[in-house]
């Protein structure tokens, strides 16, 4: 019985030993495997999102080592479940410019593309077997550096360099956690003020306006009576305040000054021409009529006819011609004014709003 019990004990011990993970050759511990083994599942809830930018390398470093270091950084950030981590390959896929970001606008674009509150920029400089590390924490809202952590590894192998880089993450994660997460916000200012702002079709208020909004992509429309509306589609990220400063252009007038001038001259011409025609009719009607003021005494012949009569037909005809010309000119001007107004209406009708990266534009 003792022999059987001993054999059973040995078999059990052997099974337990065979279940343990094998250590890497040379006794070195894989930092990525160690971090993965100790990292719990991410906790639910509204976690802060950290986007890991691609590793910047100065000096000679094998590509497989660079990729392993990026994996180590992502695993180390995920340790503890405090953050949602966008790994470097996904960051580069969502925002290709992230590989070479140098200015704040680029970092802000990367934060929007990954919907992250902070970015982590890892850098390593290689001098033979000496390594210098630098991790820079960047605010996704402003694109400005919040903090950094630096370290060195002298006369190191690749595995030691990887482990040294992972050690720097511990210091920087404390600074990430210290950055307070705030919901996204929208600020809208317009010239003129008093424009209505709608958020996915629902009224938010009138400008100037500052309000907290939900994260994600949303349609923003700004409109004011008598002005061309502006429409934007914006991706809102926690901790980021989006500011819109808009100068609303007035709706183009459907009646330009030249049309008004032509219409005024046209009606004046028609009025004067009509008056001239009336006067011409009077003059023509007076032709050969006696001038009663001079029809007495010797100015009357034996038949009772007055010697002095009106000779106004020529003046009446001339006035009639002038009246007709004025009326014709006036009507012509009114037609031209109407055509100009019609063209203005057509131009307004051809206005087509176009939504692009720079916001709303108008095309004719």
Give the model confidence (pLDDT) of 251-304 as tens digits: 766 556 777 777 788 788 888 888 888 887 887 777 767 766 667 667 666 666
Q: Indicate if 67 and 173 belong to the same structural domain.
A: yes
Q: Are residues 144 and 69 in the same domain?
A: yes
**Each residue's pLDDT tens digit, 64-105:** 988 998 898 888 888 867 778 899 899 999 988 888 888 888
Confidence at residue 258, expressed as pLDDT on a 0 to 100 scale = 73
Tell me: do 324 and 273 sit in the same domain.
yes
Mean pLDDT, to the nearest integer, of 194-218? 91
Q: Which residues pair with 245 in a beta bridge?
A: 189
Beta strands in 228-347 (DSSP E): 230-236, 241-247
Which contiguous run of DSSP H or E holds residue 281?
A: helix 257-286
In a domain, 1, yes or no: no
3-state secondary structure of 312: coil
Does residue 102 form part of some domain?
yes
Residue 233 in domain: yes
Tell me the backbone φ, ψ of residue 240, rounded to 5 degrees: -110, 130
Q: Is residue 2 part of a domain?
A: no
Average pLDDT, the chain: 76
Q: Is the per-residue pLDDT at 187 higher than 90?
A: yes
**102: CATH:** 3.40.50.10070
Shared-domain flag, residues 153 and 87: yes
Confidence label for 199 from pLDDT (cuts 50, 70 and 90): very high
Q: Is the pLDDT of residue 195 over 90?
A: yes
Residue 197 sits in a domain whose CATH number is 2.60.40.1120
Higher pLDDT: 247 or 166? It is 247
**359 band by pLDDT with thresholds 50, 70 and 90:** very low
Between CA 360 and CA 364 the distance in angstroms is 14
For residues 54-73, give the mean pLDDT: 89
> What's the pLDDT score for residue 343?
62
- Does residue 211 sit in the same domain as residue 327? no
Instruction: Give the whole-number percent of the chain exceeding pLDDT 70.
Output: 71
Please state, in angstroms and rounded to a whole number, the distance separating the CA atoms of residues 6 and 242. 72
Span 13-26, average pLDDT: 40
Is residue 10, in this structure, part of any structural domain at all? no
pLDDT for the residue numbered 100: 84
Answer yes or no: is 11 within a domain: no
Q: Convert 335-356 into a string of H (helix), E (strand) and C (coil).
A: HHHHHHHHHHHHHHHCCEEEEE
Q: Residue 193's domain spans which residues?
A: 185-251
Domain count, the chain: 3
The domain boundary residue, chosen from 251, 268, 298: 251
When mean pLDDT is compared across 19-28, 211-220, 347-356, the lowest value belongs to 19-28
338-359 average pLDDT score: 52
**Within this chain, do residues 204 and 163 fall inside the same structural domain, yes or no?**
no
3-state secondary structure of 181: coil
- The answer to whether residues 193 and 169 belong to one domain is no
96/133 same-domain check: yes
Residues 238 and 100 in one domain: no
**328's tokens:** 């014709």
Q: Contact 153/115 with Cβ under 8 angstroms?
A: no
Confidence of residue 198 (pLDDT cuts 50, 70, 90): very high
Q: Give me the pLDDT at residue 86, please.
A: 92
- Is position 6 within any domain? no
The total number of residues shown for the chain amounts to: 364
Instruction: Please check whether residues 39 and 139 belong to one and the same domain.
Output: yes
Burial class (CB in 10 A: 0-12, 13-18, 19+), 15: exposed
Q: What is the mean pLDDT of residues 221-245?
A: 87
d(CA 69, CA 62): 11
Average pLDDT score over residue span 318-339? 82
Q: Which of 48-57, 201-210, 260-269 has the lowest mean pLDDT?
A: 260-269
At 344, the pLDDT band (50, 70, 90 cuts) reads low
pLDDT of 316 higher than 70 = yes
Out of 126, 155, 178, a domain closes at 178
Domain boundary among 251, 276, 297: 251
Per-residue pLDDT band for 223 (boundaries 50, 70, 90) equals very high
Does 278 share its domain with 232? no
pLDDT for 256 equals 62
Q: pLDDT per residue over 100-156, tens digit each?
A: 888 888 899 999 999 888 899 999 999 888 889 889 888 888 888 888 888 888 888
Q: Are residues 261 and 241 in the same domain?
A: no
C-alpha gyration radius of the chain: 44
**With contact defined as beta carbons under 8 Å apart, do 207 and 229 qualify?**
no
Domain membership of residue 3 (yes or no) is no
């Amino acid at each position: 019985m003792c022999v059987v019990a001993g054999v059973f004990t040995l078999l059990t011990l052997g099974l337990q030993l065979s279940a343990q993970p094998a250590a890497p050759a040379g006794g070195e511990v894989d930092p990525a495997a160690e971090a993965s083994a100790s990292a719990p599942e991410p906790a639910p809830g509204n976690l802060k999102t950290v986007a890991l930018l691609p590793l910047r390398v100065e000096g000679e470093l094998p590509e497989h080592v660079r990729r392993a270091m990026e994996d180590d950084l992502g695993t180390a950030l995920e340790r503890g479940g405090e953050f949602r981590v966008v790994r470097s390959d996904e960051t580069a896929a969502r925002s290709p410019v992230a590989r070479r970001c140098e200015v704040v606008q680029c970092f802000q674009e990367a934060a929007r593309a990954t919907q992250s509150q902070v970015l982590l920029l890892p850098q390593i400089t290689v001098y033979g077997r000496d390594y210098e590390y630098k991790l820079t924490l960047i605010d996704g809202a402003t694109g400005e550096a919040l903090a950094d952590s630096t370290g060195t590894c002298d006369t190191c192998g690749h595995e030691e360099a990887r482990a040294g880089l992972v050690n720097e993450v511990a210091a920087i994660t404390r600074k990430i956690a210290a950055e307070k997460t705030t919901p996204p916000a929208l600020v809208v200012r317009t010239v003129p003020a008093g424009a209505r702002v709608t958020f996915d079709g629902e009224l938010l208020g009138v400008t100037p306006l500052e309000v907290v909004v939900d994260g994600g992509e949303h349609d923003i429309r700004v409109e004011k009576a008598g002005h061309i509306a502006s429409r934007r589609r914006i991706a809102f990220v926690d901790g980021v305040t989006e500011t819109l400063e808009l100068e609303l252009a007035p709706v183009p007038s459907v009646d330009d000054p030249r049309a008004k001038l032509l219409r005024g001259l046209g009606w004046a011409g028609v009025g004067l021409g009509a008056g001239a025609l009336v006067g011409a009719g009077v003059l023509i009607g007076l032709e050969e009529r006696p001038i009663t003021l001079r029809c007495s005494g010797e100015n009357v012949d034996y038949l009772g006819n007055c010697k002095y009569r009106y000779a106004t037909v020529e003046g009446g005809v001339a006035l009639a011609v002038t009246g007709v010309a004025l009326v014709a000119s006036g009507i012509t001007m009114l037609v031209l004014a109407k055509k100009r107004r019609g063209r203005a209406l057509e131009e307004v009708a051809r206005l087509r709003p176009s939504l692009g990266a720079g916001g709303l534009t108008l095309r004719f």
